[in-house]
Amino acid sequence: MTPSIHQFAQTVLANVNRVIIGKADIIELSLIALLCEGHILFEDVPGIGKTTLAKALARSLGCAFSRIQFTPDLLPSDVTGISWYNQKTQEFEFRAGPIMAQVVLADEINRATPRTQSALLEAMQERQITVDRDTYELPRPFLVLATQNPIELEGTFPLPEAQVDRFLIKTTLGYPNEQEENEILLRYAKRDPMIALEPVVDASEILVMQEAVRGVRVQDVVREYLVRVVRATRDHPAVDLGASPRGSLALYRTAQARAAIHGRDYVLPDDVKRMAPFVLTHRIHISPQTRLRGRTPAQVIAEIVDEVEAPVFE
């Protein structure tokens, strides 16, 4: 089971690395979200490569890709699709929106109004959409990669907590280092490598692997350690609102997926430690006093992970 998932991850990683340089950890997080049937939120400045990553991932997986550019005038029907009256057949027909794809890039999601943002809620959680009382199943696998600009606040609508909580993982790509940026210039100098990118796996294989990830063993001591980490977010003096049980489930599933990607059929405490910042940081609210002192949710989660004693394995 897990060796095949490990091989799958290495194959996709190598293929995407032909286009995305120096972001192996981000590609791995995207694969973890995919295997957990979750979604990922990138909070980063423009031009870092978020769109390129989404396209390269979709092509490598052989999945249908669509991109939704969120703007203040975008309507929910622009995302989900509409029912329209066909005068020839004299019947209403459903015209699918861009959400009906397997890999969806929701670009600058915080530019849309809350009403339009909520159109994604049902799709992300239930993997279905409802249009005029009719329900339509979304294709599988289904992965939403959303982006938001952390700097530009004018003309944006902050994501509501219910929306943020639907994202399994939140992370940033960050700037490349000097060597990586030189490599980007060399690789893109004559031709866009995306043009020659081909699928390396079949989308149907992903469904089998998603089910297999659930079979990765989590020993009692590791599960109890995971619970202690999550509960510590609720008792920490710097936190006003800790992670919910959905956060516990997210940490549990992502730890399983990471173990499988690394060729193991069991979870280690290190898997929990590695995934905690990406899964829990956007699920806690620190107190105003903590913010005034210059501390961030990421620093608080790092402190909690350091403080909670982990079980030791020989």
pLDDT digit string, tens, across residues 236-254: 999 999 999 999 999 999 9
2: pLDDT strictly greater than 70? no
pLDDT of residue 43: 87
Given this chain, do its domains 2-203 and 215-307 carry the same CATH topology? no
Q: Strand, coil or helix: what is 80?
A: helix
Kindly state the DSSP code that residue 48 receives in the 8-state scheme: S
Per-domain residue ranges for the chain? 2-203, 215-307
What whole-number distance in Å separates Cα of residue 275 and Cα of residue 251? 7
Higher pLDDT, 140 or 151: 140
Q: How far is CA 235 from the centre of its chain?
A: 27
Instruction: Give yes or no for a contact between 102 and 203, defined as CB atoms under 8 angstroms apart.
Output: yes
Length of the chain counted residue by residue: 314
Q: Tell me, what's the pLDDT at 152?
A: 58
Per residue in 68-126, pLDDT tens? 999 889 998 899 988 887 888 878 888 888 999 999 999 988 888 888 888 888 888 88
Pick the CATH number of 215-307 from 3.30.1360.120, 3.40.50.2000, 3.20.20.210, 1.10.8.80: 1.10.8.80
| pLDDT value for 151 | 60
pLDDT at 1: 44
pLDDT tens digits, 171-225:
998 888 999 899 999 988 888 888 888 999 888 889 999 999 999 999 999 999 9
pLDDT score of 150: 74
Average predicted confidence (pLDDT) for the chain: 89
Percent of the chain with pLDDT over 90: 60
pLDDT at residue 3 greater than cutoff 60: no
Give the pLDDT band of residue 22 (cuts 50, 70, 90).
confident
Q: What is the DSSP string of 260-289?
A: HHTT-SB--HHHHHHHHHHHHGGG-EE-HH
Assigned superfamily of 2-203:
P-loop containing nucleotide triphosphate hydrolases (3.40.50.300)
* Predicted local distance difference test score (pLDDT) of residue 90: 78
